[in-house]
Amino acid sequence: MRMFRHPLFVVLLEVLTIGKLDHQLNDEIRDKELRVIGPDGAQLGIMSAAQALAMAEERQMDLVKISPNATPPVCKIMDYSKYCFDQKKREKEAKKNQRVVEIKEIRMSPSIDTNDLNTKVKSAQKFLKEGNRVKVSVRFRGREMAHTNLGEKLLLEFAESCKEMAALEKSPKLEGRFMSIFLTPKNSK
């Protein structure tokens, strides 16, 4: 056997082995008795591996071990390449419909001016329109920690200005020097 030392060939060989699902096929099945299911889903009974393989070859299909832990192991006669194609298609479809919700964070100080607050509200509304959750935080520095009620009032005012498109998950919570709330979009895409 000749061994290829070129990196491209090594990668190709690895890709080919990764593509196979964890099923035993045709000649790989070494059990004495098998419970065989036909391509239409009908029970064909218990038979030897050689008989089941002959039956599968007669129909020009593959014998696939579905449940190896059962006694006797369950095998199905099917077109394995079509089965793999359908599995990959379903996985792609599921991945396409999946949406990752990000958490965007907006930070403020308790002494923020009204125009700056309005700018932060507009950016939060933009994030909410995109379907993302928004974490709004107020950072307290130095002696501001004595007046956490101002930060709570600011966060509730912020949530009130976003109430048309967002719902407040929890009331403001103080964690260390930060007080924060979470806003979730009302009409998730």
Q: What is the pLDDT of residues 38-75, one digit of tens each?
A: 888 888 888 888 888 888 888 888 888 888 888 888 88
Residue 42 structure tokens: 């009908």
Considering the domain architecture, whether residues 109 and 180 belong to the same structural domain is answered as yes
pTM over 0.85: no
Asked if the structure places residue 51 within a domain, the reply is yes
Report the pLDDT value the prediction gives residue 64, as an integer from 0 to 100. Answer: 87
Report the pLDDT value the prediction gives residue 5, as an integer from 0 to 100. Answer: 52
Asked if the structure places residue 6 within a domain, the reply is no
Considering the domain architecture, whether residues 152 and 87 belong to the same structural domain is answered as no
Considering the domain architecture, whether residues 141 and 171 belong to the same structural domain is answered as yes
pLDDT tens digit sequence for 3-13: 445 554 444 44
Report the pLDDT value the prediction gives residue 69, as an integer from 0 to 100. Answer: 81
- Point out the residues of the chain with pLDDT beneath 50: 1-4, 8-20, 189
Asked if the structure places residue 38 within a domain, the reply is yes
Considering the domain architecture, whether residues 161 and 90 belong to the same structural domain is answered as no
Residue 138's CB is within 10 A of a number of other CB atoms, namely 27
Report the pLDDT value the prediction gives residue 11, as an integer from 0 to 100. Answer: 41
Beta strands in 103-186 (DSSP E): 103-108, 133-139, 166-168, 173-175, 178-185
* CA-to-CA dists, residue 75 to 35, 47, 79, 100, 130, angstroms: 6, 10, 13, 38, 48
Q: What is the CATH number of the domain that holds 82?
A: 3.10.20.80
Mean pLDDT of the chain: 81
Q: Which domain holds residue 36?
A: 21-95
CA atoms of 159 and 37, how far apart (whole Å): 59
Domain count, the chain: 2
Asked if the structure places residue 1 within a domain, the reply is no
